[in-house]
A and B are shown apart, each in its own frame.
Chain A
Amino acid sequence: MTTAHHHPIVPAEVSQTLGARLHGWAVTVDHKRLGILYVCFGLVFFVIGGIEAAMMRAQLAQAAGKIVDPATFNQLFTMHGTTMVFLVGMPVLLGMANYLIPLMVGARDMAFPRLNAFGLWLFLFGAALLYYSYIGAQGLYGTSAAPDVGWFAYAPLTNKTFSPGNSTDYWILGIMVSGFGSITTAINLLVTILVMRCPGMTLMRLPLMAWMMIVVSVLVIIAIPVLTGAQIMLLLDRSLGMHFFDTQNGGSSVLWQHLFWFFGHPEVYILVLPAFGFFSEIIPVFSRKVIFGYPLMVAATVSIGFISLSVWAHHMFAIGMSPALNSFFAASTLLIAVPTGIKIFNWMGTMVGGRIIFATPMLFATAFLGIFTFGGLTGVMLALVPVTWQLSDSYFVVGHFHYVLFGGTVFGIFSAFFYWFPKATGRMLCERLGTWFFWLLFAGFNLTFFPMHISGILGMPRRIYMYQPDRGLELWNMLSSLGVVLQGVAVALFIWNVIRSLRKGKIAGNDPWDAWTLEWATTSPPPEWNFDQVPTVGSARPLWDIKNPTDPDSNHEGSI
């Protein structure tokens, strides 16, 4: 064994000048720094996207609201959706994976560190391009500045005829460029997991999060290029006068929908599977039990990956597909509920018989189980084509996917943030503030999104800047808007917690949660080279094996 190592909690760079430190962050190829940058930029956009949402809810708090004009409102929901999917979900999740995966598989860094840095800056450039539209896209005829075609940008609304000016071009280019960043990151993650695993780490000893990231990376590699291809076509239409989606010249708006949703539905799993990965690490540690049914979890993840590529047209049940196609996509959509259900049951099976510690990460994980079950069940309802003929493009759908994406992805992100913050910074987040944050967010979340299901059933379509009074919608919309206030307070508390804990948080030590995966075997924060020696593992829980030498997991491998 080499000499003892003391990695200072406060990095040596503190003594450097501000310029040198910024330069250090700008040219870094360290996966941990890049991961932190991803998460920070993602959270900035989370706040921006949240402000956009709050403005929409202010407008909709009352019938025939007059806070913003229709053009602005249409920009708000376009930018909110685009921001939350591409500039919050993707970078934060991929950024966390970027930080954690090399540590979890016992690697020195990602497989392609420079490509990794390139991916981050591509994402940031794409994001900047999208938001630059607010000032740069003032087109002819006094048309809108920011994109206002919805995050799905259905043709032919995106055609030059109906969307003059440059706003839609900014949408195309911003998303395309950040998409290139996502593809490079996915390639990097996949190669890292497959190639850079430490000795002893067979595929069935990978942390479950690594398994989820394998599937996510494959989905990114398959799905994002399809969006890129469709966006290239749209760009050719708009700038060179081609006719891919030009319905006035025989082009098809249905083709755009097929291409967009062939990307769009796997995208939902790209956004939720990493969160599943976080929970698969967090729930066992706080239940003090090994994950229930590791092989089945892997199988369920892989089958979600496969099935998710064949469900895209359930976003298109109202476009008048043939009964045969409608039935096929209903069946595949119902089928995907099975592996998703298996995961929920396995997590609950992990909790049963455990000694559950309800620290903030576990609060979010538990709430996720309840909320995601609800969102999953409304998803089952929406798989039934005739029910979707009524409810598609209504607020019911808005409620549904926020239960899935907020309750799944965002709760996953916050859970992971509380869980791995000590590893990344060396300090704990304040548990008391964290508990307040959780309960406020939980209450605000339900208050905002549950009433949306009812608004939808009462006939309120999505993407309307005002609704008619006396249709029974006022109460539900007011409740939704009030919920935003709670969520806003919660997020403010969270930011305060982060700022305060960075300076005054309790020193974490290497392994504050008494956890079992490799990232907890190194210092907090880890040195630039991650591990002093290349670790070797004998099971999926190497640190459990060390802490319980009499009953190592390797004794149980293959027993189920």
Chain B
Amino acid sequence: MTSVSTLAGTALPELWRPSRGKTGMVCLIAAESCIFLTFVVAYLFYIGKSATGPQPAQVLELGLVIVNSIALISSSFTAIAAVRMLERGEQKKCWMWLAITIALGAFFVGGTIWEWSGLMSDHALYPTTNLFGTTFYSLVGLHLFHVIVGLVLLSTVLVLGLLGCVKSRHTNAFDLVSWYWHFVDAIWVVVFLTVYVIGR
């Protein structure tokens, strides 16, 4: 047997290796981004191709969406604050910032549902109505689904925290959850630009 131990013990310069969790999360975010990319491409491809039914400029209103976007994007900053607080060991403040983050995210979900119900009741725009309906509901809906997943993750951290299970040493894990949340926010910027700026 060639002993591995002959291989061991040689003095070697320190080898830099990235963090396991962060690398994994970056990969997951990359994969998710590609799914979003597919829907964004489909959205851009079909802009102006709906033969019938309501067109984006007729039905999409910016007011509510801008409020929504502000809520979602500020939730990224509150998430950063929450991570900082956990790192410093100020758990109470952490839970507060985290709760605000969740509230802002929930506001976004509520706002989107409000917008959708308006589109359906006032403008009869359904996913089956035309290509605009198809691409709009699927792209925004895919993002909404990710917001909800993010909220579930954040709420899990909050519940565990309130139960006393989250300590400073868990900052890295919490940080990864916040990365996912930042990703969901960043994707919203892309979706917003696609749907409400380019597509409108």
Contact = CB atoms under 8 A, between A and B. Distances in A.
A190 B142 CA distance: 26
A504 to B, nearest CB: 23
Given A255-B42, A535-B4, A543-B2, A200 B10 contact: yes
B6 interface: yes
A229 to B, nearest CB: 3
Interface stretch (A461-469, A479-487, A515-523): A515-523
Contacts of B49: 250, 252
Contacts of B1: 510, 523
B18 A195 contact: yes
Interface of B is mostly: helix
Contact of B27 (A221, A232, A511, A533): A221
Contacts, number: 150
A536 B131 contact: no
A249 interface: yes
Nearest to A509: B1
A44 interface: no
B163 interface: no
Contact of A187 (B4, B28, B33, B34): B28
Contacts of A186: 27
A542 B7 contact: yes
A2 B38 CA distance: 54
Given A1-B3, A543-B2, A236 B138 contact: yes
A334 interface: no
A36 interface: no
A191 B24 contact: yes
Interface string A514-541: 0000101111000000011111111000
B10 A244 contact: no
Contacts of A376: none
A194 interface: yes
B34 A225 contact: yes
Given A187-B28, A225-B31, A226-B37, A243 B8 contact: no
Nearest to A186: B27
A533 B4 CA distance: 7
B25 to A, nearest CB: 9
A183 interface: yes
Contacts of A532: 4-5
B169 interface: no
A188 B128 CA distance: 39
Nearest to B51: A250
Interface in A225-274: 225-226, 228-230, 232-233, 236, 240-244, 249-252, 255, 259
B7 A243 contact: no
B31 A534 contact: no
A196 B21 CA distance: 12
Nearest to B11: A536
Contacts of B30: 221-222
Interface of A: 1-2, 111-112, 183, 186-188, 190-191, 194-197, 199-202, 217, 221-226, 228-230, 232-233, 236, 240-244, 249-252, 255, 259, 510-511, 518, 520-523, 531-538, 542-543, 546-547
The 4 residue pairs across chains A and B that have the minimum distance between CB atoms:
A229-B38, A225-B34, A187-B27, A242-B134
